[in-house]
Structure 1
Amino acid sequence: MNRWLLRSMTELTSRKFVSRMAGRLAKSPLSRRWIPRFAALYRIPIEEAEKPLGEYESLNDFFTRRLKPGARPVDESPDALVSPVDALVTACGKIEEGMLLKIKGQDYTLDELLHDSPRIAQYRDGYFWVLYLSPTDYHRIHAPCSGSVVESEHIPGRVYPVNDFGLTAMRRVLSRNERLVTYIRHDGGEIAVVKVGALNVSSIRYVEPRPKKLERGQELAYFEFGSTVVLLTEDDTCVPRANVRPGDKVRMGERLGSLVSADDSV
Structure 2
Amino acid sequence: MKAGVVLSHLLPQHALSALVRAATRWRWRPWKHFLIRRVVRAYGVDLDEAAQPDVAAYAHFDAFFTRALKPGARPLDPAADALLCPADGRISQAGAIAAGRIVQAKGRDYSVAELLGDPDAARRYVAGSFVNVYLSPRDYHRVHMPCAGRLLETVHIPGRLFSVAPAAVAGVDRLFARNERLVCHFEGARGPFVMVMVGALLVSGISTAWDACVVPPYARHIRRRRHAGPQLAAGAEMAQFHMGSTVIVLLPEGGATLDAELRPERTVRMGQRLGRLHVAIE
TM-score, structure 1 as length reference: 0.93
Q: Check whether the contact 1:91–1:104 (CA below 8 A) recurs between aligned residues.
A: no
Task: Note the C-alpha offset of 1:97.
Answer: 1.2
Q: Which residue of 2 aligns with 1:220?
A: 238
Task: Note the C-alpha offset of 1:209.
Answer: 5.7
Q: Which residue of 2 aligns with 1:229?
A: 247
Q: Check whether the contact 2:104–2:170 (CA below 8 A) recurs between aligned residues.
A: no
In the aligned structure 2, how far is the partner of 1:193 from the partner of 1:48? 26
| 2:257 maps to amino acid | V
SS at match of 1:258: strand
In the aligned structure 2, how far is the partner of 1:50 from the partner of 1:19? 27
Q: Report the CA distance shift for 1:14/1:219 in structure 2 as closer, same or farther (over 3 A).
A: farther
* Per-residue CA distance 1:26-71 (angstroms, 9 max, x = gap): 1101332221222111100011111121111111110011101100
In the aligned structure 2, how far is the partner of 1:14 from the partner of 1:68? 38
Give the counterpart of 2:64 among 62, 65, 72.
62
Q: Check whether the contact 1:79–1:261 (CA below 8 A) recurs between aligned residues.
A: no
Q: Which residue of 2 aligns with 1:43?
A: 44
Q: Which residue of 2 aligns with 1:148?
A: 150
Task: Note the C-alpha offset of 1:76.
Answer: 1.8
| 2:209 maps to amino acid | V
SS at match of 1:194: strand
Task: Note the C-alpha offset of 1:14.
Answer: 4.9
| 1:37 maps to amino acid | R
Q: Check whether the contact 1:185–1:191 (CA below 8 A) recurs between aligned residues.
A: yes
Task: Note the C-alpha offset of 1:247.
Answer: 1.8
Task: Note the C-alpha offset of 1:104.
Answer: 4.0
Once the two structures are superposed, the pairs formed by residues 100-119 of structure 1 within 5 Å of their partners are: 100-101=102-103, 103-119=105-121
SS at match of 2:4: helix
| 1:16 maps to amino acid | H
The answer on 1:251 being equivalent to 2:272 is: no
Moved more, 29-38 or 147-156: 29-38
Q: Check whether the contact 1:99–1:110 (CA below 8 A) recurs between aligned residues.
A: yes
In the aligned structure 2, how far is the partner of 1:59 from the partner of 1:102? 31
Q: Check whether the contact 1:122–1:235 (CA below 8 A) recurs between aligned residues.
A: yes
| 1:225 maps to amino acid | M
Runs of at least 4 residues off by over 3 Å = 208-211
SS at match of 1:168: helix
Once the two structures are superposed, the pairs formed by residues 1-266 of structure 1 within 5 Å of their partners are: 3=2, 5-30=3-28, 31-34=31-34, 35-51=36-52, 52-101=54-103, 103-208=105-210, 212-261=230-279
Segments of structure 2 that go 5 or more residues without pairing to the other structure are: 213-228
Number of paired residues? 262
Segments of structure 1 that go 5 or more residues without pairing to the other structure are: none
SS at match of 1:119: helix
Name the % identity: 37
CA RMSD after TM alignment: 1.8
Task: Note the C-alpha offset of 1:242.
Answer: 1.8
In the aligned structure 2, how far is the partner of 1:107 from the partner of 1:21? 31
SS at match of 2:120: coil
In the aligned structure 1, how far is the partner of 2:59 from the partner of 2:119? 39
In the aligned structure 2, how far is the partner of 1:147 from the partner of 1:229? 17
Q: Report the CA distance shift for 1:73/1:101 in structure 2 as closer, same or farther (over 3 A).
A: same
| 1:203 maps to amino acid | G
| 1:119 maps to amino acid | A
| 1:113 maps to amino acid | L
Q: Check whether the contact 2:196–2:247 (CA below 8 A) recurs between aligned residues.
A: yes
| 1:38 maps to amino acid | V
